[in-house]
Chains A and B, each alone.
Chain A
């Protein structure tokens, strides 16, 4: 009995210290990335541009198709319901646009990038661990975080923002098209932006920027803690997708809450 209890306590202890150690190492990677961004020098500019191109290239069609379709489906459903009640479609456009900008598009774009970009960063970093390139970097006196994560961090923050703005355009245009073609809503009535406040724009942008930064940090952590062999790289990639998506959801929740209590009008 005591033996079993002891074992359970020991397991729990190991679990808790494990989580604590992981949190600490994630925090250290985040801090080193921020410091690296401030010390960033021109030499790695090419790498940043290359990463920006890769992120854009990997995600553009994905974002266009997914958000375009979602925009149409959402507007279709909303208009359908309204038709059953009042039939007044004049508020669909303004409310839809507001919701997209501060809530819907930031989290969806970020979730999509978490799978694409997160997996890519974890796989690359993980294979550098397995092929001893990380060891070789440490030998050279270069912090692996500076070398690998900093350019990807900058590229991801910029591109998540750019893709997010692009996604907003796509989703709104797709929604307007659906409202017009299926329910005869006039474009002038749909494209009304006066519901969108400065607070909405601020929260929407803040989310995109923070998500864009969180993805490479979480994915980089997963890659740098890769286990041995190609199996290790596979695990790291899976962990990166799950954990960076989870990070995006939690961060989004927090920013939404704080936003509603402070700068936003509901």
Chain B
């Protein structure tokens, strides 16, 4: 029972984004994926749900090779592994309530009234029930993110992937997201992978950290290993210093 990356390479044309990623996540774990902008964090986690296929290498979820299966067979994986997208990715043409209802309706064979009830309960959990009838364009980024989280949790996933869940949130909402992640991991034993730049949330929440750098997982390990690390690249990232050995693409 785990998500495993084995020597995953991913190229876009001649651009080599991932060049040998190895990592794993067990249920109940909270793995934080860190790294500079454009290094390939989003690309990495999209492999888990088959939104991207590796150029070479293996990705498996609970023993199923997701790089091998067809779009149709991914349906069961996508029920088991939910994702909160970086820009929330709510459907513009649907109301917030309908946004949460859509995956429930498609994946679980429930009656319409039950789908609605479940969706309302989820919106209530993230404090968005009173806005249920609004459209994504009518609310702010932070609220959209909360709805996106409600939508992702609608199928009781075994794993949840969060792509920068606290970016753009106020500190109070950000800490709420952190505790929600912890709750998922401890109460439901969900495996969580969180892409994040938010040092507060990393050090308060992570059980494990993986740092993506130059196409590979530069270092993976428990939080203490990062605290005590003397590696100059890791030190530079964690201190957020502009001078140091780290290469940042685009600068």
Decide if A65 is an interface residue (CB 8 Å cutoff): no
**Complex interface: chain B residues within 8 A of A133 (CB):** 89-92
Main SS class of interface, A: helix
**Complex interface: chain B residues within 8 A of A147 (CB):** 91
Per the CB 8 Å criterion, the residue count for chain B at the interface is 21
Is A141 a contact of B87 with CB atoms below 8 Å? no
A29 to chain B, nearest CB (A): 14
**Complex interface: chain A residues within 8 A of B11 (CB):** none
* Partner-contacting stretch, out of B56-64, B102-110, B179-187: B102-110
Q: What string of 1s and 0s marks CB contacts (under 8 Å) between A126-166 and chain B?
A: 00100111011111111000010000000000000000000
**Complex interface: chain B residues within 8 A of A142 (CB):** 102, 106
Per the CB 8 Å criterion, the residue count for chain A at the interface is 14
Interface centre among A131, A137, A139, A141 (most CB of B within 10 A): A139
**Complex interface: chain B residues within 8 A of A135 (CB):** 46, 51, 85, 89
Kindly report which residue of chain B lies nearest to residue A127, judged by CB atoms. B92
Is A128 a contact of B92 with CB atoms below 8 Å? yes
Is B107 a contact of A132 with CB atoms below 8 Å? no
Q: What string of 1s and 0s marks CB contacts (under 8 Å) between B32-69 and chain A?
A: 00000000000000100101000000000000000000
Is B85 a contact of A136 with CB atoms below 8 Å? yes
Is B103 a contact of A131 with CB atoms below 8 Å? no
**Complex interface: chain B residues within 8 A of A131 (CB):** 87, 89
> In the complex, A132→B51 CA distance in Å?
10
**Complex interface: chain A residues within 8 A of B83 (CB):** 136, 139
**Complex interface: chain B residues within 8 A of A136 (CB):** 83, 85, 89-91
Decide if B93 is an interface residue (CB 8 Å cutoff): yes
**Complex interface: chain A residues within 8 A of B107 (CB):** 140-141
Interface centre among B49, B79, B89, B106 (most CB of A within 10 A): B89
Decide if A47 is an interface residue (CB 8 Å cutoff): yes
Decide if B75 is an interface residue (CB 8 Å cutoff): yes
> In the complex, A65→B136 CA distance in Å?
36
> In the complex, A141→B87 CA distance in Å?
20
Kindly report which residue of chain B lies nearest to residue A135, judged by CB atoms. B51
B13 to chain A, nearest CB (A): 11
**Complex interface: chain B residues within 8 A of A132 (CB):** 85-87, 89
Kindly report which residue of chain B lies nearest to residue A139, judged by CB atoms. B78
Is B103 a contact of A141 with CB atoms below 8 Å? yes
A13 to chain B, nearest CB (A): 16
A181 to chain B, nearest CB (A): 47
Once A132-B87, A135-B51, A136-B85 are accepted as A-B contacts, the answer to whether A141 and B92 lie under 8 Å apart by CB is: no
Q: Could you list some 18 contacts between A and B, CB below 8 A? A: A128-B92, A131-B89, A132-B85, A132-B86, A133-B91, A135-B46, A135-B51, A135-B85, A135-B89, A136-B85, A136-B90, A137-B91, A139-B103, A140-B103, A141-B78, A141-B107, A142-B102, A142-B106
Interface of A toward B, CB cutoff 8 Å = 47, 128, 131-133, 135-142, 147
